[in-house]
Amino acid sequence: MFNYLRQRFTSRIRERSRRRARLVSKDGRCNIEFGNVEQSRFVFLIDIWTTILDLRWRYKMTIFISAFLGSWFLFGLLWYVVAYIHKDLPEFNPSINHTPCVENINGLTSAFLFSLETQVTIGYGFRCVTEQCATAIFLLIFQSILGVIINSFMCGAILAKISRSKNRAKTITFSKNAVISKRGGKLCLLIRVANLRKSLLIGSHIYGKLLKTTITPEGETIILDQVNIEFVVDAGNENLFFISPLTIYHIIDKNSPFFHMAAETILQQDFELVVFLDGTVEATSATCQVRTSYIPEEVLWGYRFAPIVSKTKEGKYRVDFQNFSKTVAVETPHCAFCLYNEKEAKAKEKKGYDNPGFVLEVSETSDTKM
């Protein structure tokens, strides 16, 4: 009992350490950070548009509110300064014939309200600029132009954040596990992917990268070495008709990095399979990329996916997502090398090759006695 609990505890610790080392999470986020970057952070301000778009919503809304409140308050101070210099405030006791630069500015609060009305073009009609001083006219023009720029930039950033194709990727889902089983007489690694919307992804393309640590013949250790993994779909790898869930598969042949793995040793391997789906969103024509990853514990050897598409009595096709990640155990060779040798042996057997070990040597001459 103690040994069993110790093994369970060790396996849990190993699994948690593997999950912490995952580069790409199941929902496609990359687990990586940059340290000791020599370039100044000023380079991020040069590309301010991308920097604003990449910010999280809480930071973006903080900048959005601060930009408007800050500009309103700053120009409110300027309007107050103009009224103060021109002695339009009640504390200066202006005469009855005095014409102020801005009507009905009595203090900092009224100056702030006039700044807000000017920038957002409310125009209540109670406060207005007169032709008395050119400074007020220039300030009015400058605030109007700057207000249009702030409105365009901030509203455009909010709209672009909402309509980013990254959000479209949330409606593309991959199976929880990858499976390895025979398909078409070949040993394959299979993954199921589904589009949760009825709108299509145009020009979809699926591919994968196997991330692992390798040591070169020169003794160099390469962490996160990337190996291309080609995935195939029966309907073709390009321009997928992605209206129903698809099962993509990778053929484990001699050129595959999974060729030397077996059912007994795959859990001892240290790799991460990252799967990518690129496409164009039909509604917005924006490109979209969906990512997920699988570690050895999430690759099930000797299983296949349960069917999920059926036809109703009304003639409609129904997709049951309850069985989307459900797997069924099937008879599967425990390694690709064994399947390859088995096929070769069967091919030789069909061709009728003789076994040299069982060829008997018979002498050509023999004496027969009567």
As assigned by CATH, the class of the 168-350 domain is mainly beta
How large is the average pLDDT for residues 146-174?
85
* Average pLDDT value for residue range 273-283: 87
Cβ neighbors of 173 (< 8 A, separation 6 or more) are 193, 194, 196, 324
Give residue 237's pLDDT: 56
The pLDDT tens digits of the residues spanning 10-35 come to 666 555 554 556 888 887 788 777 77
Confidence of residue 368 (pLDDT cuts 50, 70, 90): very low
* pTM score over 0.75: no
Domain boundaries, the chain: 55-163, 168-350
- Mind listing the pLDDT tens digit for each residue in 104-133? 898 999 999 999 999 988 877 788 898 888
Instruction: Considering only CA atoms, give the Rg of the chain.
Output: 36
N- to C-terminal Cα separation, the chain: 81
* Max mean pLDDT range (135-144, 230-239, 318-327, 328-337): 135-144
32 phi, psi to nearest 5 deg: -150, 145
Report the distance separating Cα 318 and Cα 89, nearest Å.
74
pLDDT at residue 5 in the model: 64
pLDDT digits (tens, 9 = 90+) for 49-59: 888 888 888 99
Assess whether pLDDT exceeds 70 at residue 319.
Answer: yes
Measured at the alpha carbon of residue 309, what is the angle toward residues 304 and 312, in degrees to the nearest 5? 150
**What was the pLDDT predicted at 54?**
83
Alpha helices in the chain (DSSP H): 2-20, 42-46, 48-54, 57-85, 108-119, 134-162, 165-168, 336-351
Between residues 303 and 242, the one the model is more confident about: 303
User: What average pLDDT does range 182-203 have in this prediction?
Assistant: 86
Q: What is the mean pLDDT of the chain?
A: 82
Mean pLDDT calculated for residue range 209-230: 86
The strand pair at 221-229 and 186-195 is best described as unpaired
- Is 200 or 259 the better-scoring residue by pLDDT? 259
For the residues 185-212, what does the mean pLDDT come to? Answer: 87
- The tokens for 274 are 């990252």
Q: For the ranges 287-291, 315-319, 340-344, 345-349, which has the lowest average pLDDT?
A: 345-349
Q: Is the pLDDT of residue 98 over 80?
A: yes
Rounded CA gap, 295 and 271, in Å?
Answer: 6
pLDDT at 39: 65
Asked if residue 111 lies in contact with residue 83, where contact means CB atoms within 8 angstroms, the answer is yes
Point out the least confidently predicted range of 131-145, 211-225, 236-250.
236-250
Asked if residue 301 lies in contact with residue 180, where contact means CB atoms within 8 angstroms, the answer is: yes
Question: Is 1.10.287.70 the CATH classification of the domain at 55-163?
Answer: yes
Does residue 252 register a pLDDT over 80? yes
Structure confidence by residue, pLDDT tens digits, 320-363: 888 898 999 998 888 877 777 665 555 555 555 444 444 444 44
